[in-house]
Amino acid sequence: MTHRGPLRCLPPTRWLVPVLALLASAALAQDVLAAGPSGYAPAPVLSPGDYPAIRGLSPRLAVWFAAQMHVWFAAFVLAVPIFAVILEFVGVVKKDARYDRVAYEFLRVSITAFSLTAVTGGILLAALIVFYPDLMKYLASIFGPTALFYALFFFFETAALYTYYYGWKRMAEGRLKLLHLAVGIGLNLSGTGLMFVANAWVTFMMTPAGVDAAGAFGGNVWEAVNNHLWSPMNLHRFVANIAYGGSIAGAYAAYRFLGASSEEGRAHYDWMGYTASLIAIGALLPLPFAGYWLTAEIYSFSQQMGITLMGGVFAWLFIVQAVIIGALFLAANYYLWCGFGRGGYGAGYLKYVKYIAVVVAASFLVWFTPHTLILTPSEARAIGGQYHPYLGPLGLMPAKNTAVNMMLLFTFLSFLLYRRAHRRPVVPWVKYGNALQAGLFTAAVANISFLGVYYGYFTNTVYKVASSVPQVATTLFVIVACLVIEWLMARGGRSEDFKWGRMPERSQYALILIAVSFTWLMGLMGFVRSAIRQHWHVYSVMKDASAEAFTPSIAYAAKVVSAGTVVFLAIIVFIFWLGGMGQEKEAGGDG
């Protein structure tokens, strides 16, 4: 491998974009500041003629596609360094070189994606300036100073990234290793800071703050940055990025596992895939709570916006979301069940799989049952109305909350059994410990069902919403309590190492399915978040007067997002292929 100085190896895409962003923002801000006597003009009132047009090109589609590509790549490259540092740290503490090797490999896979993130960011910026100049001028008049932070974070992130990556082998021992870890932490802090700045621009467009009713800026940039959605969006994107990065890294491991020719290679990529999927699913579990906060803030800012999100036409996309997340959970469970074979005691637990599968599949079906059906008049007459007489109640939120909690509980049960596959507890109270855990699960299932059925169908709306809190608390309690009991039972127990690589090939397709589901889900739900602004550039203060200022049909949105998913994943496969070539070259050079 060739080691080069960090600055000499910076590709132009890494420094050109922040410089362009800074210059464009400064130029646009100056333009607007000159326009008003008080310094800050109200939001411009536009007409269709204010939007430049290029024949045969849809401005909305161009910006949508570029933004979507940028967000997918950005999510991946922000997440990988987070768990690379965590794995490197674990490797240092445990003195286990496997963690270090996997962390380095994760980072190597993402390094090509860094340049593509910058390229797609540049395309997005150019598309916005070309097609929506007045909107960009208005935003720059408010957020001009934040572009400086963006550029600074970008430079720090780039410098830290290349030092972290190219210094990995040179800074492998003693104090240099600690310094290397510190550089990794710096890389993550600057990457997260970068995302927070961009989130401020996006969330301002949804829930503007620091401006009056006409959109005239009051002069306090922090007020505009710290708008209603900024903090929940920061949290939601931070957690979601980790889940997404884990899923893409898991798909990479699966790709390499399927192509591995040696037992050692299969073992390595099996372990890598397991670690990545554990990170992905681990980050997925708290994501609904961050999403809950984000949605609550949307409702708190504008009930109308909240109703558009959950009760209008977009509600159908939540059904699609349920299908995709349900598929994701089924894939995660299937992967864990296949993993029973890695441990010596796993065969004894296979008999429970069919029961868990029934519960997970039933919960999945309840989760995506729609409340209002799209029916022809004759179909509606046949079932006696718009709602199905028996399945209609399953379309309501209490049923879905109950189903989601059941799915989480039983996925956790799969994980517990998976861990037992290589560990046999020998404490004298094993039978009582098992009875305690079985009792805990039984009581939790009863409590979640009671809360869902009684408060969901025999009380009013306030209780229906409120009962979801103890439902989630019950699930979390079971997870924590079971892990504590499991830890106490495992003391002094017999355990044997997992036999990594002893996985059927079909299990790896579950990892690929998880990555595809995440990508699709992000695209679809990202569309919903953005589209609830409807015909506003900046909600309630700056109207979109372009010819495309209407909400597209769900089918159109699904086609755009699906096409984006295919293009993005094709590029990712290309990156995987490049990553494999780099590793072969490195192995040849080193060896």
Partner 1 sequence: MALEAGSVAMQEQNSALRMKTTLAFIASVLGFGALFLVLDLLLFNAQGLSFVFKG
Asked if residue 213 binds partner 1 (CB under 8 A), the reply is no
* Residues 257, 505: Cα–Cα separation, whole Å: 8
Among 85, 233, 407, 451, binds partner 1 (CB under 8 A): 451
Q: Which two tokens stand for residue 556?
A: 């159109």
* Residues 38, 30: Cα–Cα separation, whole Å: 13
Candidate segments 40-48, 74-82, 402-410, 467-475, binder of partner 1 by CB under 8 A: 467-475
Q: Which residues, 6+ apart, have CB-to-CB distance to 57 below 8 Å? A: none
Phi-psi region of 546 (alpha: psi -120 to 50; beta: other; left: phi over 0): beta
Count CB-CB contacts under 10 A for residue 5. 10
DSSP element (H, E) containing 538: strand 536-538
* Helix, strand, coil percentages in the chain from 3-state DSSP, rounded to 5: 75, 0, 20
Asked if residue 484 binds partner 1 (CB under 8 A), the reply is no
Cβ at position 436, least distance to partner 1 in Å: 5
Number of residues binding to partner 1, judged by CB under 8 A: 27
Contact 118, 13 (CB under 8 A): yes
Among 287, 375, 440, 531, binds partner 1 (CB under 8 A): 440
Among 345, 352, 477, 509, binds partner 1 (CB under 8 A): 477
Q: Is 55 helix (H, G, I), strand (E, B) or coil?
A: coil
**Cα dist. 292→47, 86, 413 in Å?**
37, 27, 25
Instruction: Name the residue type at position 5.
Output: G
- Termini Cα distance of the chain: 11
Asked if residue 289 binds partner 1 (CB under 8 A), the reply is no
Cβ at position 481, least distance to partner 1 in Å: 8
* Residues 328, 325: Cα–Cα separation, whole Å: 5
Asked if residue 25 binds partner 1 (CB under 8 A), the reply is no
Asked if residue 463 binds partner 1 (CB under 8 A), the reply is yes
**Whose Cβ is closer to partner 1: residue 473's or residue 566's?**
473
Q: Which of residues 512-531 bind partner 1 (CB under 8 A)?
A: none
Candidate segments 217-225, 359-367, 447-455, 523-531, binder of partner 1 by CB under 8 A: 447-455
Cβ at position 431, least distance to partner 1 in Å: 5
Among 469, 484, 547, 587, binds partner 1 (CB under 8 A): 469
Asked if residue 300 binds partner 1 (CB under 8 A), the reply is no
Among 438, 484, 547, 566, binds partner 1 (CB under 8 A): 438
Candidate segments 206-214, 263-271, 443-451, 545-553, binder of partner 1 by CB under 8 A: 443-451
Asked if residue 470 binds partner 1 (CB under 8 A), the reply is yes
**Whose Cβ is closer to partner 1: residue 247's or residue 474's?**
474
Residue found under tokens 């990594």: 500
How many whole angstroms from its chain centre is CA 80? 12
* Residues 338, 511: Cα–Cα separation, whole Å: 12
**Whose Cβ is closer to partner 1: residue 449's or residue 495's?**
449
**Whose Cβ is closer to partner 1: residue 303's or residue 459's?**
459
Among 152, 202, 353, 436, binds partner 1 (CB under 8 A): 436
**Whose Cβ is closer to partner 1: residue 76's or residue 455's?**
455
Among 141, 234, 447, 507, binds partner 1 (CB under 8 A): 447
Among 372, 386, 442, 562, binds partner 1 (CB under 8 A): 442
Q: Which two tokens stand for residue 202?
A: 């996006």
Among 474, 508, 540, 546, binds partner 1 (CB under 8 A): 474
Asked if residue 473 binds partner 1 (CB under 8 A), the reply is yes
Among 125, 444, 521, 525, binds partner 1 (CB under 8 A): 444
E strands in 157-295: none
**Whose Cβ is closer to partner 1: residue 222's or residue 355's?**
355
* Residues 303, 289: Cα–Cα separation, whole Å: 20
Which of 409, 403, 416 minimizes the C-alpha distance to 362? 403
Among 19, 426, 443, 480, binds partner 1 (CB under 8 A): 443
Q: Which two tokens stand for residue 420?
A: 């037992």
**Whose Cβ is closer to partner 1: residue 313's or residue 426's?**
426
Angle at the Cα of 112 (from 110 to 118), degrees rounded to 5?
100
Length of the chain: 591
Q: Which of residues 396-435 bind partner 1 (CB under 8 A)?
A: 431-432, 434-435
Q: What are phi and psi of 536, to 5 degrees?
A: -115, 140
Asked if residue 462 binds partner 1 (CB under 8 A), the reply is yes
Instruction: Name the residue type at position 421.
Output: A
Among 11, 52, 439, 493, binds partner 1 (CB under 8 A): 439
Contact 494, 424 (CB under 8 A): yes
**Whose Cβ is closer to partner 1: residue 23's or residue 430's?**
430
Q: What is the dihedral of CA 462, 464, 466, 472, to 10 degrees?
A: -170
By CB under 8 A, name the binding residues for partner 1.
431-432, 434-436, 438-440, 442-444, 446-447, 451, 455, 458-460, 462-463, 466-467, 469-470, 473-474, 477
